[in-house]
Amino acid sequence: MPTKRLAAELNVGETTARRRRARLLDSHVLYLRLYAEPDFLGYPVEARFRFGVPYSRLDGAVRLLAAEPAVRQLAFISGRMTLLGYASHHRSLRDFHLFAARVFKGLDSVTASETALLMHSYKRAGFARAAG
């Protein structure tokens, strides 16, 4: 949102709006990020994975997965499957297979697992994907 519109919405001056936004960015309460469709960048293969990991092993599993650039989201969830993640940056199914074989083998004590390829994303980062 442009600063002028933000100031109008908050009923403050542009300088005040700019200063408040800067303070939120500096304090890491607000993050600005650019999002581009992975397939547009040459990475058409994305996957979701879920693992059942005992609580005593979660820290190690999270550290291993979070260190991977292809893992774009990772969350602790309730239920039998305790870890949910999304991986992208794969140029082909073979590329994803090599990633999974290399990374997932490092997860010890996994009690259950499920991996699914994303066939089509209809909405990302709060925006509906254009038809096509």
> pLDDT (tens digit, 9 = 90+) per residue, 91-132?
999 999 999 999 999 998 899 999 999 998 888 777 777 665
Range of the domain at 70: 38-127
Asked if residue 20 is part of any domain, the answer here is yes
Q: How confident is the model at residue 33 (pLDDT cuts 50, 70, 90)?
A: confident
Rounded to an integer, what distance in angstroms lies between the CA atom of residue 13 and that of residue 19?
10
Cα first-last separation, the chain: 27
Do 6 and 51 fall into the same domain? no
Asked if residue 132 is part of any domain, the answer here is no
pLDDT of residue 126: 72
Query: Counting every residue, how long is the chain?
Result: 132
Neighbour-count burial of 4, counting CB atoms closer than 10 A to its CB (0-12 exposed, 13-18 middle, 19+ buried): exposed
Asked if residue 68 is part of any domain, the answer here is yes
DSSP secondary structure code for residue 129 in this structure: P
Count of domains for the chain: 2
